[in-house]
Amino acid sequence: MVKGKVIEGIPASPGIAIGVALKYEKLKPKILKKELKEEEVSGEIEKFLMAIERSKSELRKILTLAVEKLGSKGAEIFEAQILMLDDKTIIDKIIERIKGEKLNAEFIIQDEIEKYIKFMQGSGDDYLKERAHDLEDLKNRVIRNIQQQKWLSRFDTSRIVVAENLTPADTILFSRNQVLGYATDLGGMTSHTAILARALKIPAVVGLKEATKSIKTGDLVILDGYKGILIINPEQDVVEEYQNKIKRIAEFERKLEDFKFVPAVTIDGRKVTILANIEFPEEVNEALESGAEGVGLFRTEYIISNGTIPEEDEQFEEYFKVAEKVYPYKVVIRTFDVGGDKIFRDYHREDNPFLGWRGIRIGLDKPEILLSQLRAILRASVKKNVWVMFPMVSSIDEVREVKKYIDLAKAQLKEKNIPFDENIKVGVMIETPSSALMAKEIAREVDFFSIGTNDLIQYTLAVDRGNETVAKIFQEFHPAVLRLIQFVVESAQRAKIPVSVCGEMAADPYATVLLVGFGLDELSVTPKMIPEIKRIIKTIKFKDAKRISKRALVFKTQDEVKNFLMKELKGIIPEIEI
């Protein structure tokens, strides 16, 4: 029994922090409506333009810090914010209104930008709702600079920052002060706080709802980024329990170093290939240094900068750079999975984007985009270590149609005498219930399967994992999900094609045993999880994993499955729960 007030949220970045809370309340600028005299208008416009320049200067400094901590690709959010401040349409509109209405700049900015914010918040699109926070941050930054107010993001000693919400700038700037952890009332797994905290390797719990109402600066708190809880003013025995847990985790992580570069083979000889999921080319080195035997998922959406898809040559250079680094291991390049929570310039707003125009649907509707990317991928395959994979497939018709485009892309390259791998492996992501249930038929059309458990769970259970209201019913051990995975694996085995899992489930130590037992050939995980997954596989017998996975399929609820796994695996792998 945990003593102290416990608030449950969403585990956004793993780790445990024990320390003093800093309740961060960012004051919103006070805005009054003030009428201007004719002779004051030009000075007001000048004040507005100077505030824009000061805001850009601040963001450039933050961008420099972000690049230092996250790399250039991880810092793109700040480049995007700087570009937003260069948006001539909005700037001209504000200047026009200051001139026409003869009102102060702060009032006009507030009124004009709020229109965009309200539209985005009411869009029903989680991605646009999240981006509304960016616009709110920019609006407040410009107004603060007009009013020449200072903003403090420094504090003397390490703290656990507790806030209603944190902007990207907040998250980065606080990290300068060796922040211990982040806890926010708002946010989900896809919020900026969550994404940046994971990149910075700082523990974080989001979606706590009313943590700021229960906490004050100076309170002792424990932030558990594994379980997604915040404990306020815990008793000494709870503090000691968590201090011991931190020591055990540190010792455990030291031991994992021994498993990085050994093959993942069960005690009775079953080999499972462990690959890495990467989002940016810069992550390849980390993947290989963690012991990855290749890249099982190379997401290509990062290359879409400010909504614009680059030309074929630029794409080729990016893909080839990764293929060359990974060689002789393979890299599985996924074609653009835009839509849903990722957008590009031609994307139109939809009431339900996750059930709309996304993934392979966009590629088939926009063949010029698909063909350009396919030619770039094919050109990058000259060393014969590149596989290509298509996302969000929901029917066999889509598979057959996209294969025609591969043939066309090959023909176009042959015509220009450009070399590529004639026998490049072609696969699909199984991440919709329809593709899972049609797996037998689809398996005859492709060279491999990769099960994308994140979306498969979302679509099977009709739950958005990024929505903090329903995130707790996003259940990777739900019997329906497990039965679909087993069916897909069996279908692949009958067709004699390899099958992998590349969702976050593959990095869950409990799920590892189930997936091995189902017969997965490969697991593709975040690089930092590779040593632990290898350790677990080397600790079990394949026959035990098969027995456990078979038994897990008979249960009716996730809780029953998890309780069974905890009991079974404690006997086989005593260290699995730290």
Span 387-400, pLDDT tens digits = 999 999 999 999 99
- Residue 3 predicted with pLDDT over 70: no
345 — pLDDT class (breaks 50, 70, 90): very low
β-bridge partners, 450: 429, 500
192 catalytically annotated: yes
Look-up of token digits 């697991």: 523
431 is in an annotated binding site: yes
Residues 6+ apart with CB under 8 A from 318: 281, 300, 303
Q: Which whole number is the average pLDDT over 120-134?
A: 71
Q: How far apart are CA 384 and CA 380, in angstroms?
A: 9
The annotation status of 465 as a binding-site residue, yes or no, is yes
Could you identify the residue written with the tokens 């339900």?
352
- The answer to the question of whether 334 is labelled as a binding residue is yes
Out of 108-117, 374-383, 421-430, 543-552, which region has the weakest mean confidence (pLDDT)?
A: 108-117
For residue 350, the model assigns a pLDDT of 47
Q: What is the pLDDT of residue 198?
A: 86
Of the ranges 17-26, 300-309, 433-442, which one carries the lowest mean pLDDT score? 300-309
Tell me, what's the pLDDT at 1?
A: 44
Q: Which helix (H) or strand (E) holds 100?
A: helix 88-101
In the predicted structure, residue 544 carries a pLDDT above the cut 70: yes
List, for residues 39-95, the tens digit of each pLDDT value: 999 999 999 999 999 999 989 988 888 888 777 666 777 888 888 888 888 899 999
Has residue 291 got a pLDDT over 50? Answer: yes
The neighbouring-strand residues paired with 16 are 224
pLDDT of residue 73: 64
Q: What was the pLDDT predicted at 79?
A: 83
- Residue 440's pLDDT is what? 98
> Cβ neighbours of residue 21 under 8 Å, at least 6 residues apart?
159, 160, 161, 162, 183, 215, 216, 217, 218, 219, 220, 221, 232
Task: Write down the pLDDT at residue 279.
Answer: 85
Predicted local confidence at residue 199, as pLDDT: 80
Q: Determine phi and psi for 200, rounding to 5 degrees.
A: -85, -10
Query: Is the bond preceding 234 in cis, omega lying within 30 degrees of 0?
Result: no
Buried b (16+ CB within 10 A) or exposed e, 215-225: beeebebbbbb
Q: Are 202 and 223 in contact (CB under 8 A)?
A: no
pLDDT digits (tens, 9 = 90+) for 261-287: 999 999 999 999 999 999 888 889 999
253 vs 102: which has the higher pLDDT: 102
- pLDDT, residue 386, reads 99
Per-residue pLDDT tens for 489-527?
999 999 999 999 998 888 888 899 999 999 999 999 989
Q: Who wins on pLDDT, 339 or 12?
A: 12
**Is residue 349 predicted with pLDDT exceeding 70?**
no
Domains of the chain: 5-26+152-237 (3.50.30.10), 38-146 (1.10.274.10), 258-572 (3.20.20.60)
Is the predicted pLDDT of residue 239 greater than 50, yes or no?
yes
Q: What is the pLDDT of residue 507?
A: 81
**Residues 84-110, mean pLDDT to the nearest whole number:** 93
pLDDT exceeds cutoff 60 at 204: yes
pLDDT for 342 beyond 90:
no
pLDDT at 162 over 70: yes
Q: Tens digits of per-residue pLDDT, 142-155? A: 999 999 876 555 56
Residue 367 has pLDDT above 70, yes or no: yes
| CA separation, residue 576 to residues 124, 272, 478 (Å) | 40, 19, 21
Q: Is the pLDDT of residue 305 over 70?
A: no
Q: Is 455 annotated as a binding residue?
A: yes
The single residue of 133, 348, 478, 502 carrying the catalytic annotation is 502
| Tokens describing residue 229 | 């809880």
Is the pLDDT reported for residue 344 higher than 50?
no
Q: Is the pLDDT reported for residue 106 higher than 70?
A: yes
Active site (annotated) includes residue 133: no
User: pLDDT for 252-263, tens place per residue?
Assistant: 888 889 999 999
- Report pLDDT digits (tens) over 455-490: 999 999 988 766 666 767 888 899 999 999 999 999
- Residue 193 pLDDT greater than 60, yes or no: yes
Task: Tell me the one-letter amino acid at 138.
Answer: L
Predicted confidence at residue 401, as pLDDT, reads: 96
Q: Residue 120: its pLDDT value, please?
A: 80
Helices marked H in 439-478? 439-443, 453-461
Task: Identify which has the larger pLDDT, 337 or 377.
Answer: 377
Mean pLDDT of 240-248: 95
Report whether 52 contacts 85 (CB < 8 A): yes
Instruction: Give me the pLDDT at residue 578, please.
Output: 44
Round the average pLDDT of the chain to a whole number and report it: 89
